[in-house]
Amino acid sequence: METREKLCRAALDAMNEVGYGRFATEDVAERAKVSRGALTHQFSSRNQLIIAAYDYLMTSWEHGWGQIARYPKRLEPVEVTDLLWNNLYRSPHYVASLEIMLAARNDDELGKGIRAIMVRWSAHRDRLIAQLLGTSASDKKTRQFVQMNLCVLRGIALNPNFSSETSSNVQGKLVEEWKRIVTSDFHFTTKP
């Protein structure tokens, strides 16, 4: 594997495990089994590394979703919810993406880079979802549906970090509950 890729993966792992606060380039180099010199050669600064790692993650999501969109089948709203949950929020590096976006909030330099990538990914995602639903990405109802799903699933994905619940599979039940709501509340298909 290329050095850059190894470093991006290691950076995401580190971000997942230790969080932005304790994230250190030294640690990343070690995880990637690469010298610190190699890292500094590839990435001129810590922020550059983080931006590259984020870009790597978003690109991998884009590829994954590109495959999904090949299915010619038209999906029901609840199937889109399922897709989002299984292919985004259960991604092993979801927490990393969260840490990075939260950090980008305060750092202008980092924020600029991250935002550009996020805009690209968002557009890609929304276009694919609209395609799967058989609607347009600029359709108001579609946008609202997508926004709502992103919010709800994000909140559920974070639940383990915010809840004192210890019982198993709380997330699964919450997702099921939300899917039930989606099934009964959201409809896009034209009448037969």
Partner DNA sequence: ACAAACAAACAGGGTTGTCTGTTTTTATGT
Partner DNA sequence: ACATAAAAACAGACAACCCTGTTTGTTTGT
For binding to a second copy (CB under 8 A), which residues are involved? Answer: 17-23, 98-99, 101-103, 105-106, 115, 118-119, 122-123, 144, 147-148, 150-156, 158-159, 161-165, 170, 173-174, 177-178, 181, 184-185
Structure tokens at 152: 């709800």
24 binds, among a second copy, DNA, none (CB under 5 to 8 A by kind): DNA
Is residue 26 at the binding interface for DNA, with CB under 7 A as the rule? yes
Cα-Cα-Cα-Cα torsion 68, 74, 77, 83, nearest 10 degrees, comes to -10
Smallest separation, CB 16 to DNA (Å): 16
Q: How distant, in Å, are the alpha carbons of 88, 140, 157 from that of 91? A: 5, 28, 10
In eight-state DSSP terms, residue 92 is T
Q: Are 117 and 55 in contact (CB under 8 A)?
A: yes
For residue 167, the minimal CB distance to DNA (Å) is 35
End-to-end CA distance of the chain: 52
Which of 41, 74, 112, 187 touches DNA by CB under 7 A? 41
CB nearer to DNA: pick between 7 and 88: 7
Does position 24 interact with DNA (CB under 7 A)? The reply is: yes
- Please say which residue, 36 or 173, places its beta carbon nearer to DNA: 36
- Exposed, middle or buried: residue 129 (CB in 10 Å: 0-12, 13-18, 19+)? buried
Choose among 93, 6, 23, 81: nearest CA to 54: 93
**Residue 69 binds which entry of a second copy, DNA, none, with Cβ cut-offs from 5 to 8 Å by kind?**
none
Residue in 5, 45, 141, 187 binding DNA, rule: CB under 7 A:
45
Q: How far apart are CA 152 and CA 155, in angstroms?
A: 5
Residues binding DNA (CB under 7 A): 3, 22-27, 34-38, 40-42, 44-47
